[in-house]
Structure 1
């Protein structure tokens, strides 16, 4: 009888998985998305995953499980996780002031930045100027040296700029994560790239940086809002904004990272303890450490974020109360694509739990 029930459940799950797969591919086709991938994750692994389409529009490069996607601002959650590990190691706290780590920068920095803490940098609760890839200043030749040295000089430059004077507690800016990345490198004694590699080693995954097609033209290409594929090109600002939005990954490796965080909520992961992962996702209202969050109609805390670096959209939703994470990757960034991504996540949640 138990075997029969198990088989019936397997058939039922398989049937629903096929429906989800068909629905997902219909979304891909409706919104002209070259490639779409999704997964449903729990603390023990992947419950459902599919990938469809092509790596590049009008090409003969079919989608494959090894395909990599730029995750944009979902990098912020990874940076926050790396800092959380340093906090667990006792090297700093969430309330450590930035200038306690960098006293040498204080004299040339504007006084409005003196009181910023680690948590302020990670939760958009700081007055640093808005900064993204479109800003013209500073220029490339202003910061010589290694990638890490350039990032440090850029952080010092940001501290000398006029503050964001907009009203409201939350002030969205990549700049806080630039400073957080510099802080992370100093207290750990490792570059951001080295810390990422350490995380890779600990989880047997392969997070990388930059555009997937930069080193391999047969990898995934991003597409802009005109559905034009983005050719690989050197962009020095990707390095400066490393800790804010420059990670790429395949779906399988990203699900391992999510699964480990679901384990951590249960106190069962070597990655983070339960108190730390709770603060990471829910430690400040609205936006915590790299994660937006809210309470859904079921009364469950839901953390989420969206990466949109110009030619990719990556959306992740985590609901610890039901032991679920949902993730969708696309290689096309256009306003209407968000509708399709959200519709797919809603469909998956209605079956697997919200």
Structure 2
């Protein structure tokens, strides 16, 4: 018994020391690459092995009141796509919709005015960027979109009609053509199939179903004590105030959820456990399809899927935060790195941290 206790004590000290080393290395990178606040997590199917947040909410104010806290929210950017796909999987399992459901099966009255190129697009096509919808990855593209009022759902409906009457992307040899706007149309399908708005579905799944915390939009939009996003203004790293007129309402299902790192880590852990064959909130087969159902990009996840390697990943940024997620099914491990800056230096720092995490964990 004494031997077992000593062994456990040694392991505890060993892992604590390992975590401390990772924290020191990560904070050094954070400072060197001018990242105000950075978070990271190392996850297996059975445990959150390490999770930490370091730094400050704002680059311009560094004191105890702005120090990084475990409950800080980070903007997930395009990692939101995997959440929308997760909700789709939830509805598919409940037989509200199928991956192969065609858009115009749900909206037959729209077909006459739509571009014929879109006649057969499905939910899976939209979630995997195979519907040839224009990307809407830059601010300039939104200048041509119709201005609308009403609820977010109503605005996205007008946006979807606009998209479907326009020309598609030209045919090409790429396996997929990335599109934020495609996710707005996919969300419309989920709304029609369920009778609920996308926002209500997020609450049903993340909030009530999984007991996870989340926000729509920037972390500091409704709470100045949350991290500010940062960008460069006149070559100076600058925090964006909560009043900044910058919203992603039209493409919210593609990239506008914020979560505390601990809650997002739990969601990623569920995905990893599902890929390892465990049924949880969704069935293992649903997770496998979402991550590996199609080559290169499946339902909200980029992938490498060969007999020797099974990896899924995604990065997300709307220009002021950055989040990168990597799931290695074969090694039963996942990594998350988040930052409240998306400058060139910040991205370098994020991937330096990822490299250190991988070296210390595998």
Indicate yes or no: 2:93 matched with 1:88. yes
Which deviations, in whole Å up to 9, do the C-alpha atoms of 1:17-76 show, x marking residues without a partner?
Answer: 111111100110010100001111122331111111110112131111111111100000
Match of 1:188 among 190, 194, 208: 194
- CA separation in 2, counterparts of 1:350 and 1:80? 31
Q: How does 1:1-354 map to 2 (within 5 A)?
A: 1-59=3-61, 60=63, 61-132=66-137, 134=139, 135=141, 136-140=143-147, 143-165=148-170, 167=172, 168-199=174-205, 200-225=207-232, 226-233=236-243, 238-294=248-304, 299-353=308-362
- CA separation in 1, counterparts of 2:305 and 2:193? 34
Deviation at 1:320, TM superposition (A): 2.1
- CA separation in 2, counterparts of 1:282 and 1:195? 24
Contact (CA 8 Å) 1:261, 1:271: kept in 2 or not? no
Give ranges in structure 2 of 5+ residues lacking alignment. none
Change (3 A) 1:235 1:152: farther
- CA separation in 2, counterparts of 1:144 and 1:214? 20
- CA separation in 1, counterparts of 2:196 and 2:95? 16
Deviation at 1:281, TM superposition (A): 0.6
Contact (CA 8 Å) 1:302, 1:319: kept in 2 or not? yes
Contact (CA 8 Å) 1:45, 1:256: kept in 2 or not? no
Contact (CA 8 Å) 2:82, 2:299: kept in 1 or not? yes
TM-score, reference length from structure 2: 0.92
Which deviations, in whole Å up to 9, do the C-alpha atoms of 1:205-261 show, x marking residues without a partner?
Answer: 111101111111121100014411112246575111110001011101101111122
- CA separation in 1, counterparts of 2:150 and 2:345? 41
Contact (CA 8 Å) 1:261, 1:269: kept in 2 or not? no
TM-score, reference length from structure 1: 0.94
Contact (CA 8 Å) 2:74, 2:340: kept in 1 or not? yes
Give ranges in structure 1 of 5+ residues lacking alignment. none
- CA separation in 2, counterparts of 1:234 and 1:22? 34
Deviation at 1:334, TM superposition (A): 1.0
Deviation at 1:270, TM superposition (A): 3.0
Which deviations, in whole Å up to 9, do the C-alpha atoms of 1:161-220 show, x marking residues without a partner?
Answer: 111116223111111101011111111111111111112122111111011111111211
Name the SS for the 2:230 alignment partner: coil
- CA separation in 2, counterparts of 1:234 and 1:83? 32
- CA separation in 2, counterparts of 1:188 and 1:233? 34
- CA separation in 1, counterparts of 2:47 and 2:17? 20
Name the SS for the 1:224 alignment partner: strand
Deviation at 1:336, TM superposition (A): 2.8
Which deviations, in whole Å up to 9, do the C-alpha atoms of 1:281-315 show, x marking residues without a partner?
Answer: 1111111111111259x933111100111100101
Change (3 A) 1:295 1:348: farther
> What is the aligned length?
350
- CA separation in 2, counterparts of 1:246 and 1:133? 15
